[in-house]
């Protein structure tokens, strides 16, 4: 029995030893099956992930296309806050089969993009620079809006350059104006030139001609009396009542400084007195063809002294034939003795002292009804002209108008053509 029991135990031990590898193998196979089942279960998730990736890829494509025309940051988003100004434009094309992302661009690609961009910008600028004046250069940094603004500014500046070359755009602020070529009598510019208006102290040119036509003794003395004082407007004068001056000095001060008392005294000392003098003024006007003119006093303080720009141009042309009128009306200033005192008198037209003007005759005038007035004979752009400016409102308007006319004529002469009638 003992032998049989031992044999049975031994056989059982051998069988147990043989079953262990089989169980291990079975366990391994069972574990592998579980892993495969888990893998098969996980595969839909992976497929789903692939589909979502494809969907995301299709959604990203518009962003990649938009990046073609918008600037792309040089560095990654983590450094964008510190490098906001470091932006480079890209013109990269989408590559088939490659996901379009805002990834850093290769340095070679950057260089190619820069060259392409520079060539396109250069071509655009070259096309525009040909339309842009030197007064409005196209800046290197700026977009289309900036270029358009510059181009509009250029048009304005170009218009200003041609302002004086276009007679139709000559801006004269005086109410009445006339520019006449003295040699031919052809009007070059006129504005309300036939309007009959008060002429203020422009009257004194007629006064001077009538005085000189009577061929008086210019060295004989004349006395300023109370009759010469302006009680109508209260104009000031440094020639006090009782002042004795020569007729020549009175004529000088009347033409140069527009002295009203000197002018009135000249008319009062005319043969036959002041009424005869005023009658002689109107006869002289009629002889010159000044059909729209009328005079009532030798000073111009009376607003009934009226004329037109065309009539005054005739009067200026006639007065230019008198050497003393040319000399006295363009004298910048003198020092005269008045009642034992030496006083300085200055020309009322500041242009006679300007080195840019060549003025042969000048006279200013002002009363409230007439406004600021100015008549001149001058040589402008090597052409003798007569300029008449009446009814100017501003203090310097008549001077500004004269300078504008001068620049207009000089500009026309520089372009090789004469100003045409306007």
Q: Which residue in 201, 307, 362, 392 is the catalytic one? A: 201
Q: Which residue in 174, 176, 257, 258 is the catalytic one? A: 258
CA distance 398 to 272: 37
Nearest to 200 by CA among 230, 223, 238: 230
Nearest to 180 by CA among 317, 290, 291, 288: 317
Nearest to 68 by CA among 100, 111, 112, 104: 100
Q: Which residue in 150, 191, 204, 284 is the catalytic one? A: 204
Q: Are 273 and 266 in contact (CB under 8 A)?
A: no
CA distance 350 to 329: 12
Nearest to 291 by CA among 307, 302, 313: 307
Can you tell me which residue has the tokens 């422009």? 202
Pair type for strands 359-367 and 72-73: unpaired
CA distance 280 to 298: 11
| 34 a catalytic residue | no
Nearest to 67 by CA among 100, 116, 36: 100
Chain center to CA of 99:
55
Can you tell me which residue has the tokens 């005739």? 314
| 258 a catalytic residue | yes
Nearest to 302 by CA among 150, 190, 198: 198
Helices (H), 162-224: 203-213
Residues carrying an active site annotation: 201, 204, 258
């Amino acid at each position: 029995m003992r032998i049989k029991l031992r044999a049975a135990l031994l056989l059982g031990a051998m069988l147990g030893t043989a079953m262990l590898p089989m169980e291990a193998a079975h366990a391994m196979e069972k574990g592998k099956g579980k892993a495969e089942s888990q893998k098969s279960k996980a595969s839909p998730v992976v497929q789903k992930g692939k589909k979502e990736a494809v969907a995301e890829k299709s959604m990203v494509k518009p962003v990649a296309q938009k990046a073609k025309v918008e600037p792309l940051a040089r560095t990654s988003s983590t450094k964008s806050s510190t490098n906001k100004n470091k932006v480079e434009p890209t013109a990269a094309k989408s590559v088939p089969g490659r996901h379009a992302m805002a990834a850093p661009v290769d340095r070679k690609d950057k260089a190619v993009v820069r060259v392409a961009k520079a060539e396109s910008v250069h071509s655009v600028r070259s096309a525009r620079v040909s339309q842009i004046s030197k007064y409005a250069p196209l800046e290197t940094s700026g977009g289309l809006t900036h270029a358009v603004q510059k181009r509009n500014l250029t048009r304005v500046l170009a218009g200003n350059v041609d302002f004086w070359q276009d007679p139709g755009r000559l801006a004269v602020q005086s109410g009445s104006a006339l520019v006449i070529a003295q040699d031919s009598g052809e009007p070059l510019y006129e504005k309300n030139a036939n309007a009959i208006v008060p002429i203020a102290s422009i009257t004194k040119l007629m006064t001077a001609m009538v005085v000189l036509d009577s061929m008086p003794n210019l060295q004989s003395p004349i006395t300023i009396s109370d009759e010469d004082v302006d009680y109508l407007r209260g104009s000031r004068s440094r020639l006090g009542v009782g002042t004795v001056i020569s007729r020549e000095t009175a004529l000088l001060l009347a033409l140069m400084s527009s002295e009203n008392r000197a002018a009135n005294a000249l008319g009062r000392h005319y043969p036959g007195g002041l009424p005869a003098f005023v009658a002689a003024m109107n006869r002289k006007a009629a002889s010159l063809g000044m059909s729209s003119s009328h005079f009532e006093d030798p000073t111009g303080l009376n607003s009934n002294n009226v004329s037109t720009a065309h009539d005054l141009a005739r009067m200026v042309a006639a007065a230019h034939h008198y050497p003393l009128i040319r000399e006295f009306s363009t004298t910048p200033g003198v020092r005269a003795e008045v009642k034992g005192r030496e006083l300085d008198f200055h020309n009322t037209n500041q242009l006679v002292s300007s080195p840019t003007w060549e003025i042969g005759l000048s006279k200013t005038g002002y009363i409230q009804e007439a406004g600021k007035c100015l008549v001149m004979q001058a040589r402008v752009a090597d052409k003798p002209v007569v300029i008449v400016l009446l009814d100017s409102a501003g203090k310097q308007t008549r001077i500004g108008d004269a300078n504008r006319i001068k620049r207009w004529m000089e500009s026309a002469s520089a372009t090789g053509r004469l100003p045409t009638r306007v």
